[in-house]
Chain A
């Protein structure tokens, strides 16, 4: 794997800043942008997966029990999942400093 971006010097870059390692966007922590965080209430979740379909980041997947949950490394906290959830199983809460 190449160096993380914050360790790279200009000499480490490929010509034209071409990225030769496919899929390295997965290293980018978009979760750092978040000001609100989704809390999933599994007592209300019916495992319909609607939140996962609507998530623009594609970061909601099923856990071992089949409940849907956001990966907080990528979740930007947009709140679309909470808005769309029919059973109101998702609540957005403020991120603490």
Chain B
């Protein structure tokens, strides 16, 4: 049976990578991701994890080393945040285009400038379209569980894609939480060895990441798009099997008192937990409010989102990133787009808040719901509102 321990979430992620028996970890430390890779370095140095730890000189090199390691068929892990993700961006796109399975934890951090080491989703949105599978976790248990799931999804023969596990920097990465760790034997049963089909082999040479002239580039991109879209089936299947084995079930879209609610909040990431508490309070006050949490960001779960919100009158989406000069919140923009063709759909209201580590408190979510309902009633000339900004 599993042990429950009080542990920092970053350290727990390192322990999950150890349970997954990663072969290669290449990473560069950056706040607020540092404790993850620091712990992995300790595990490798002490011999508890039999892996190659490559201390690289930058994130661009970290992702490059991961790419090469994945091409040999190794089980590969890295982690980064904010500016680090920006610096590795070029190679991030290459990893998914070459369909090299690996797992990267991203301790979400605001982008410079001004310099902020605190959390929001601006780094996530900079890699929105890079072709990685991307999922969000809300607490430490989900982080551990989904690091294990991410390896299985990434290495699934039907998928073969890199996977990002997003966790909010500080708000989640630095929390100390009670976490259940599965036994090694249980993990080994759930996560079979990586069977990457084209490992680098001088006896059987292949060319990876080759040159593609206009005559073939479009075909490569169509294949990539079809592949990531189809991966949703394997992702759902993995979460189902994880639930059957460990008793904790995950889905692309998860509701909280959402089924009969007239007004729905939609959030992504750890502040969903605060939002749930706010929903409890508002429900106690007799309000018909619920919450929809988006767990799977890519591939975007269109069908599940439509299903989850179709009975509501108002849908209030709270983003933790801005699309400057654009539609405001990137999550809201995509949710709106998913609903546009539906005959029956809620009025969609967009808020952006919680930038650069600012909290959205329980009262904050209540204010957002009240203001969101007002906007739904009266309409607004603005695409979105920023929450909690001093005017």
Contact = CB atoms under 8 A, between A and B. Distances in A.
Contacts of B99: 15-16, 18
Contacts of A6: 215-216
A77 B45 CA distance: 56
A16 B227 CA distance: 10
A11 B223 contact: yes
B68 interface: no
Size category of the A interface is 10 to 19
Interface residues of B, number: 23
A15 B97 CA distance: 9
A6 B227 CA distance: 22
Interface string A54-65: 000000000000
Contact of A8 (B97, B207, B216, B227): B216
Given A15-B99, A15-B197, A20 B206 contact: yes
Contacts of A9: 219
B206 A10 contact: no
A25 B251 CA distance: 44
B53 to A, nearest CB: 26
Count chain A CB atoms within 10 A of each CB in B100, B208, B223 and give the residue with the most. Answer: B223
A21 to B, nearest CB: 9
A31 B206 CA distance: 25
A17 interface: yes
B210 to A, nearest CB: 5
A19 B197 CA distance: 13
Interface string B192-224: 000001100000011111101101100110110
A15 B226 contact: no
Given A5-B215, A6-B215, A8-B216, A18 B222 contact: no
A16 B205 contact: no
A10 B207 contact: no
Count chain A CB atoms within 10 A of each CB in B97, B205, B213, B216 and give the residue with the most. Answer: B216
Contact of A10 (B209, B213, B220): B220
A9 B222 CA distance: 9
B226 to A, nearest CB: 7
Contacts of B100: 16
B215 A16 contact: no
Contacts of B154: none
Given A10-B223, A10-B226, A19 B210 contact: yes
B200 to A, nearest CB: 11
A18 B212 contact: no
Contacts of B216: 5-6, 8
B160 interface: yes
Contacts of B43: none
Contact of B206 (A5, A13, A19): A19
B98 interface: yes
9 contacts: A9-B219, A10-B220, A13-B223, A15-B160, A17-B212, A18-B98, A19-B210, A20-B206, A22-B207
Smallest CB-CB A-B distances: 7 pairs: A16-B99, A19-B207, A10-B222, A10-B219, A16-B98, A10-B223, A17-B220
Given A10-B226, A16-B160, 18 more contacts: A5-B213, A5-B215, A6-B216, A8-B219, A11-B223, A13-B219, A13-B220, A15-B197, A16-B97, A16-B98, A16-B100, A16-B208, A16-B209, A17-B97, A17-B98, A17-B212, A18-B99, A19-B206
